[in-house]
Amino acid sequence: MNTRANHQVETNGQHAVVLGGSLTGLLAARVLADHFDRVTLIERDAYPENTEARRGIPQANHVHGLLVRGRQILEEFFPGLQDEMIAAGAPVVDMANEIAWFTPAGWGVRFPSDLKVLAFTRPMLDLYVRRHLARNPKVEIVDNTDVLRLLPASSGNQLAGVLICPRSSAADRRIAKELRADLVVDATGRASRAPRWLRDLSYSAPEETVINAHIGYASRLYQIPDNFERDWKCVFVQGAPPERKRGAILFQVEGNRWLVTLIGGGRDYPPSDELGFLDFARSLPVSTIFDAISAAQPLTPIKTHRATENRLRQYERAKELPDNFLVLGDAACAFNPVYGQGMTNAALGALALQKTIGEQRRRFPDGSLTGLSRCFQKRLAKVNETPWMLTTAQDYRYRECTGGVPGRMTRFMHRYMDRVIELATRKVAVRRVLLRVFNMLTAPSTLFEPRILFRVLVKILKPARPRREFRPRTQVIERTAS
């Protein structure tokens, strides 16, 4: 897709370039279009015109849950997006009522709520967001083009743009072109080459922290069988590390299909062969997902993915950065995806970008970008702080986790959260709070409010009973009110 037509380009105005056209890049381009005369988004892949997964985002073959906060922000940036996706078949799912959630303490209580999410394949979301963005006359989307490196400006602490290389033909691939820009934004994901690009220009690379619980995914799409009796739209079998390292998610997605993702932590990776996949599903503590896929017709091969480490690049601590170079999304902070935070965090990063550029424009009406990078990376670091802390703390539960060790506080948090999950499995009021935290609608500190804290401490102080092995063959749905 090369959407050059009908663009009212002000050639004398400021030009922003976004590198990478997955969700973060699309959101960044949307924000920048409010503040720059032109925005060019450069994507290495050729975008498909349908909902096929593409090479640059291999994770798109796997379940992608968009949290409620992320859904709200996407709708603010792209009004009408949800309705279009619903009309195209994305189911609306009440997270509290229509997801059968098997926690380490059993099947979670269900109740009607306003916590509505959409269930879709990831390529569908990107396609619809991309279509919205392409309607913006200030944005030019250039796909099938590789970004090779950053170009320094001849003076000052600035970049002049980037070096790009179209990939549509062998002849093209031999010709690199300079793309001049006033602002360069890196959204090329966890494999971002920005640290190397910066080093090449004699800047220091950011400090990088990697915490890896060695999580593997294996996924497949199935046709939902006619008359398959169920009272859920999605199923989530949560792992309980360190003992229970396996989990799975089944998502009802557009096209009357199930997307099934098997998850194994601590190097207990789900296999990609037919029998191994089924055996892994059968080994889960409840049979709901195994029963469903045993009755269903597979539509795709099994796809696997293991690049799931938490990776934090602390650009906010870099001694010096070009003023007009920003890094966001997975390129700055990528998470173990099990907690479903990546896309919502990308959306929160886009809000941070909007705020920072707005302030910069007010501070410097002449359009100067002095100090922009430092302000933005500091603000983004605050956005990343809580999800990073929550995710890595959970990952420390795996004995195989590498990159750090849990401190006393983290170990206490594990005990505290075990009790919260136990309570939330049975009590509507606690589950409601937990789901709001999980959906990034409220701060995790809410889980320490007196009404929860008191119940949790009572449980922690009680002598522990030995853990009961939970292996029911069928699901029992409790509908207890708190």
The one-letter amino acid at 276: G
Q: Does 195 engage in binding with ligand FAD (CB under 6 A)? A: no
Q: Do 234 and 251 meet the contact criterion of CB atoms below 8 Å apart?
A: yes
Q: Do 7 and 137 meet the contact criterion of CB atoms below 8 Å apart?
A: yes
CB of 173 to ligand FAD, least distance (A): 13
Measured between alpha carbons, how far is 349 from 391 in angstroms, rounded to an integer? 17
CB of 368 to ligand FAD, least distance (A): 27
Q: Does 433 engage in binding with ligand FAD (CB under 6 A)? A: no
Q: Does 123 engage in binding with ligand FAD (CB under 6 A)? A: no
Q: Does 342 engage in binding with ligand FAD (CB under 6 A)? A: yes
Tell me which of 15, 18, 24, 397 binds ligand FAD, using CB under 6 A: 24
Q: Does 346 engage in binding with ligand FAD (CB under 6 A)? A: yes
Collect all residues with Cβ–Cβ distance below 8 Å to 395 and sequence separation of at least 6. Answer: 211, 212, 213, 310, 336, 401
Tell me which of 3, 41, 51, 65 binds ligand FAD, using CB under 6 A: 65
Q: Does 234 engage in binding with ligand FAD (CB under 6 A)? A: no
Q: Do 179 and 76 meet the contact criterion of CB atoms below 8 Å apart?
A: no
Measured between alpha carbons, how far is 33 from 330 in angstroms, rounded to an integer? 21
Nearest in space to 470 (alpha carbons), one of 101, 102, 109, 96: 102
Helices (H), 261-321: 274-282, 288-294
Nearer to ligand FAD, 121 or 288 (CB): 121
Cα separations in angstroms, 452 against 83, 105, 218, 434, 465:
37, 17, 36, 10, 21
Q: Does 189 engage in binding with ligand FAD (CB under 6 A)? A: yes
Q: Select the span of 21-29, 173-181, 368-376, 470-478 touching ligand FAD (CB under 6 A).
A: 21-29
Q: Select the span of 100-108, 204-212, 300-308, 409-417 touching ligand FAD (CB under 6 A).
A: 300-308
Q: Does 337 engage in binding with ligand FAD (CB under 6 A)? A: yes
Measured between alpha carbons, how far is 428 from 482 in angstroms, rounded to an integer? 5
Q: Does 56 engage in binding with ligand FAD (CB under 6 A)? A: yes
Nearest in space to 218 (alpha carbons), one of 276, 292, 283: 276
Q: Does 43 engage in binding with ligand FAD (CB under 6 A)? A: yes
Q: Does 74 engage in binding with ligand FAD (CB under 6 A)? A: no
Q: Do 69 and 346 meet the contact criterion of CB atoms below 8 Å apart?
A: no
- 7 φ, ψ to 5°? -95, 130
CB of 86 to ligand FAD, least distance (A): 19
Tell me which of 64, 71, 257, 303 binds ligand FAD, using CB under 6 A: 64
Site string for ligand FAD, 128-157 (x = CB under 6 A): ------------------xx----------
Given the rule CB under 6 A, which residues bind ligand FAD? 19-25, 42-45, 56-57, 59, 62-66, 146-147, 187-190, 217, 305, 307-308, 329-331, 337, 340-344, 346
